[in-house]
């Protein structure tokens, strides 16, 4: 079961505003990525289900993080169906994220008291997700559906919406301030936060610095 409650996980995502999105088949590399983000001030991390036996990496990561990064909520991403969601919840996922909306996953997560953030690209999809009990909805792929202007236009008729933009998000001041100013609750950021050369060379301090700067830029854009 999740270590943290649904309310606590959502609160941390809302408070910090930046959610790293990461997968690596090597447990040690994944641990280092999580710790680098933690040291930079990140408190919510999405581990994506994108490789063979990924759930085993996630299981061990959660055990390690309970001691090494005790304040970090760690969720599972790229969850497409209810059985996979159930597996990750059983392994301790604090929240579930998906690239698409699946009503079966929504019902399962509601039953288990775990936040479900599905990917949506239209007003109808976002509204349907909210009807299914999704508090936080992912705008995905954010850069393809209209970027920051799409978010602004969604929040006009649906001002109560909590949106997380994923795709076309970069650890750059102008980019993050623009997303923050659009009204998003949070952003999800993948490969741009984890440069290949930094990961390959074990330059985790660089990733910590990018994480810290990203939090600062996003927060300043909210003001």
Residues 6-114+168-222, CATH architecture: Alpha-Beta Barrel (3.20)
Taking the C-alpha atoms of residue 114 and residue 74, their distance in angstroms, rounded to an integer, is 12
Q: pLDDT tens, position by position, for the chain (223 residues)?
A: 678 999 999 999 999 999 999 999 999 999 999 999 999 999 999 999 999 999 999 999 999 999 999 999 999 999 999 999 999 999 999 999 999 999 999 999 999 999 999 999 999 999 999 999 999 999 999 999 999 999 999 999 999 999 999 999 999 999 999 999 999 999 999 999 999 999 999 999 999 999 999 999 999 998 7
Taking the C-alpha atoms of residue 143 and residue 165, their distance in angstroms, rounded to an integer, is 9
HEC string of 133-175? CCCEEEECCCCCCCHHHHHHHHHCCCCCCEEEEECCCCCCHHH
Contact 78/13 with Cβ under 8 angstroms? no
Taking the C-alpha atoms of residue 85 and residue 56, their distance in angstroms, rounded to an integer, is 14
The DSSP letter of residue 182 is H
Taking the C-alpha atoms of residue 94 and residue 3, their distance in angstroms, rounded to an integer, is 6
- Nearest 10 degrees: CA dihedral of 51, 55, 61, 66? 150
Q: Strands 136-139 and 119-120, how do they pair?
A: parallel
Neighbours of 41 (CB within 10 A): 15
Residue 1 pLDDT: 61
Neighbours of 116 (CB within 10 A): 28
Contact 97/46 with Cβ under 8 angstroms? yes
Residue 223 pLDDT: 73
Q: Which two tokens stand for residue 24?
A: 């690596």
The residues, ordered by sequence, that sit 6+ positions from 170 with a Cβ below 8 Å of its Cβ are 176, 189, 192
Whether the CA torsion 99, 104, 106, 108 is positive or negative: it is negative
Q: DSSP string spanning 45-62? A: EEEE--STTHHHHHHHHH
């Amino acid at each position: 079961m999740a270590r943290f409650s649904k309310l606590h996980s959502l609160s941390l995502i809302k408070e910090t505003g930046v959610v790293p999105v990461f997968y690596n088949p090597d447990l040690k590399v994944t641990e280092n990525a999580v710790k680098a983000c933690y040291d930079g001030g990140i408190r919510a991390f999405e581990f994506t289900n994108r490789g063979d036996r990924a759930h085993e990496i996630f299981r061990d990561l959660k055990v390690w993080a309970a001691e090494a990064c005790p304040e970090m909520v760690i969720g599972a991403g790229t969850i497409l169906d209810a059985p996979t969601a159930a597996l990750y919840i059983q392994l301790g996922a604090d929240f579930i994220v998906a690239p698409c909306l699946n009503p079966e996953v929504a019902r399962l997560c509601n039953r288990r008291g775990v936040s479900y953030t599905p990917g949506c690209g239209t007003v109808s999809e976002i509204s349907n997700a909210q009807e299914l009990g999704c508090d936080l909805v992912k705008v995905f792929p954010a850069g393809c559906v209209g970027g920051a202007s799409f978010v602004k236009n969604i929040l006009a008729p649906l001002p109560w919406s909590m949106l997380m933009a994923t795709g076309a998000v970069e650890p750059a001041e102008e980019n993050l301030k623009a997303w923050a100013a659009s009204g998003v609750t949070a952003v999800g950021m993948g490969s741009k936060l984890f440069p290949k050369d930094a990961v390959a060379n074990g330059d985790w301090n660089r990733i910590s610095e990018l994480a810290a700067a990203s939090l600062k830029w996003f927060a300043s854009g909210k003001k």
